[in-house]
Amino acid sequence: MDPHHPYLIGDCLIHIFTFLTEDDLISASTVCKDWYEAAETPWLWRRICLQRWSFCNLAALGVDHLNHSWKRYFHRRCHLEKNMTQGRSGGYTCKSLRGHTGRVVGLVYLQGNSSLMPDLSKCSAIVCSASTDGTVRAWNIQNGENLWCSPVQSPLTKIIVDEKQEVIITSDSAGLITTWQGQTGQQLASFSTASSHCTLLQYNINNNWFLTVGTGQGSICTLADLTLTKTSSLMVCDSFRVDILLVSPDKKWIVAGTKENADLSLKVIYSESLTSPSEDEGTLCQSVPVPGCQAAVFIPTQPARLAIIHDSELRGNKALTVFDVSIKKMKYKTEIQVQQVESFSLTLNHFSSHILLEAKNSNCIVLAAEEQLMVYSLKGAMLASFKDHSMPISSICVDNFRVVTASQDLSLRVLTWKNDPDHGLTLESQYHLLGGSRTMSRGFTHVSCDYSSIVGSVEGNNGKDVLKAYSFTS
């Protein structure tokens, strides 16, 4: 080596160290001073982080520009994921959030740690819950503090959130739709649908805010802005309640339908027909050519690919069919095309009435029926199957790191995604989180999670539900 160019040695070492694993890199740093300095190069640890996760929230490093920042980020995130994967005592804290005097009908993260861009400096999350006691409550789940409680109204039936605007949307048993300012609990606006059943769907198109509400009479009503100004109303399943309401990832399509009537099909509606209706042009709407829908989900990584679980031609059996939705413009008219991509039979108990369906990516869907959790490819291959619960699964939460299932057996089951060299993406069952004793509780009813915490609602025997919040530490 040329003694007049000592940095050449460092450059060579750094290049050689790119072939090492993180454990080998740490071992190499103990050899001598030069190796230590090369092994501590921020670029090396940044490369290791991005190779492992492909997404890293750079803001999590804060204002610290020391050479060890990326290394610390790697170790903290590995430690957090180890705690989330193992679920051992000391790797997480559990808080019981009490205050509701009725049943919890839903819970949502107002502020959470995104699984796509996790922020390791974020030490608190806020969850909002709605109850039949007529109130919305906001909770800091790390310290168990009740931040605010809304005024009492009619029993609440649904809750959703717009995390970007930090706005909570609820419906009650009288059909009143209400928006709440997430930080303070202040009521922003309300709109009456006069329906005891409401299904809520919030979405944004070109930075414009919309809320579509499905009613118990079979219609959908679309409201604009946080003032809840009505823009349109459309009948989609006459006299049967709308309990399926979805928006496509590209926000061009709304899917609405009912599970109450096996003879009715889902409707695909061009969203612009609802958000900006024209008197000259009718609503652009098309039926999906399968009856008896039990569950549906849009594939999140595709513009408009829809998976539906429905009754099959064989009596009592069910099938999963995948469709692509597109628009075809002709000289004198425009029409919606719903084209079948895949279809296959499901090995479900034909008595299963409560089916939950979520999508992981372009080729992986998760469904729960009774006590069983299954993972399928979109071509029908079963990638994994689990029967960890002793009673039916009541709710599931799916993100990029794990799947959490809530069950009436009073437990949450945590499973993590794994890339198998031979079989590709699959799930690996990890551990249970228990919700209490049978003398006080009946089982979990809802579950939600962010990257570093899990919150579930437990049905109390005394009619007062409790939230269980599990926060994992890094």
pLDDT per residue over 411-438, tens digit each? 999 999 988 777 678 889 999 998 777 7
> Which domains are delineated in the chain?
7-85 (1.20.1280.50)
pLDDT at 45: 79
Measured CA to CA, the distance from residue 292 to residue 307 in angstroms comes to 14
* pLDDT of the residue at 122: 65
Q: For residue range 265-274, list pLDDT tens digits in order.
A: 999 999 999 9
Separation of alpha carbons 146 and 184, rounded Å? 12
- 325 pLDDT exceeds 60? yes
Share of the chain above pLDDT 90, in %: 56
As a whole number of angstroms, the distance between CA 357 and CA 364 comes to 11
In the sheet that holds 244-247, the strands lie side by side as: 244-247, 253-257, 265-270, 285-291
Q: Please, are residues 235 and 286 in contact by the beta-carbon 8 Å criterion? A: no
Alpha-carbon distances, residue 116 vs 141, 262, 377, 463 (angstroms) = 21, 37, 22, 37
CA angle 161, 193, 278 (to 5 degrees): 90
Alpha-helical regions (H) of 18-133:
22-28, 33-39, 42-53, 69-86
Least confident interval from 55-64, 227-236, 360-369: 55-64
Instruction: Give the confidence band of 396 by pLDDT, cuts at 50, 70, 90.
Output: very high
- The per-residue pLDDT for 62 is 52
CB burial of 44-79 (b: ≥16 within 10 Å; e: otherwise) equals bbbebbeeebeebbeebbeeeeeeebbbebbeebee
pLDDT tier for residue 350 given thresholds of 50, 70 and 90: low
Average pLDDT, the chain: 87
Task: Dump pLDDT digits (tens) for 143-180.
Answer: 899 999 999 999 999 999 998 899 999 999 999 999 99
Distance CA 362, CA 306 (A): 11
Give the per-residue pLDDT at 67: 45
Contact between 212 and 274 under an 8 Å Cβ cutoff? The reply is yes
pLDDT at position 57 is 65
pLDDT at position 243, please?
A: 93
Section 301-315 average pLDDT = 88
Q: pLDDT value at position 348?
A: 76
pLDDT at 60 over 70: no
**8 vs 188, more confident:** 188
pLDDT of residue 121: 66
**What is the rounded distance in angstroms from the CA atom of residue 141 to the CA atom of residue 472?**
11
Mean predicted confidence (pLDDT) in 118-140: 88
What are the pLDDT digits (tens) for 245-267?
999 999 999 999 999 988 899 99
| Model confidence, pTM | 0.87
Separation CA 10–CA 387 (nearest Å): 53
Question: How confident is the model over 62-119, as pLDDT tens digits?
Answer: 544 444 588 888 888 888 888 888 888 888 999 999 999 999 999 999 987 776 677 6
The predicted pLDDT at position 65 comes to: 47
Give the model confidence (pLDDT) of 9-50 as tens digits: 667 777 777 777 777 777 877 778 777 777 777 778 788 788
pLDDT digits (tens, 9 = 90+) for 426-469: 889 999 998 777 778 889 999 999 988 999 999 998 889 999 99
Whether the Cβ atoms of residue 135 and residue 100 lie closer than 8 Å to each other: yes
**pLDDT score at 10:** 66
| Stronger pLDDT, 16 or 346, i.e. the higher one | 346
Find out whether 467 and 107 touch, Cβ atoms under 8 Å.
yes
Supply 366's token pair: 């998760």
Percent of the chain exceeding pLDDT 70 equals: 91
Closest CA to 102 of 149, 135, 148: 135
The arithmetic mean of pLDDT across residues 48-66, rounded, is 64
